[in-house]
């Protein structure tokens, strides 16, 4: 492991499609009700997928299991002034710099 500016780096081999698929799988495993057959980046967690704060917490746990590292979604949630902006695409965009695609990932 390497450390840089207080961030811990671990090796990973995710590409953009793999990250998106991982997020969709985590959504499917934690959704409480029916969700669309095809999950799109524009789908909102609240309006389209029926998530609430507990579901978001379960989603973080599912992502932790899939990535084998802690995943904190507090900053992602806090960065959106309107809960309607919490979309699948915004979550993937938030995770991408944390799970740097290719050789290294930052937690």
Kindly report, residue by residue over 21-58, the tens digit of the pLDDT: 999 999 999 998 899 999 999 999 999 999 999 999 99
User: Looking at residue 55, which CATH number applies to its domain?
Assistant: 1.10.1200
- Report whether pLDDT(89) > 50: yes
In a domain, 38, yes or no: no
Q: What is the pLDDT of residue 8?
A: 42
The runs of H, that is alpha helices, within 1-107 are 16-30, 53-67, 74-78, 88-98
Q: Is 9 domain-assigned?
A: yes
How long is the chain?
Answer: 107
Helix axis angle, 88-98 to 16-30, nearest 10°: 130
Closest CA to 26 of 68, 81, 65: 65
What is the domain extent for residue 51?
Answer: 2-33+43-106
């Amino acid at each position: 492991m390497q450390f840089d500016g207080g961030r811990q780096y671990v090796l990973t081999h995710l590409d953009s499609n793999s990250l998106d698929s991982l997020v969709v799988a985590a959504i499917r495993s934690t959704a409480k009700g029916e969700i669309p057959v095809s999950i799109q980046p524009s789908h909102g967690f609240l309006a389209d997928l029926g998530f609430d704060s507990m579901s978001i917490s379960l989603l973080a746990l599912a992502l932790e299991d899939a990535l084998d590292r802690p995943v904190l979604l507090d900053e992602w949630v806090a960065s959106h002034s309107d809960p309607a902006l919490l979309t699948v695409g915004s979550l993937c965009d938030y995770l991408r710099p944390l799970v740097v695609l290719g050789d290294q990932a930052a937690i």
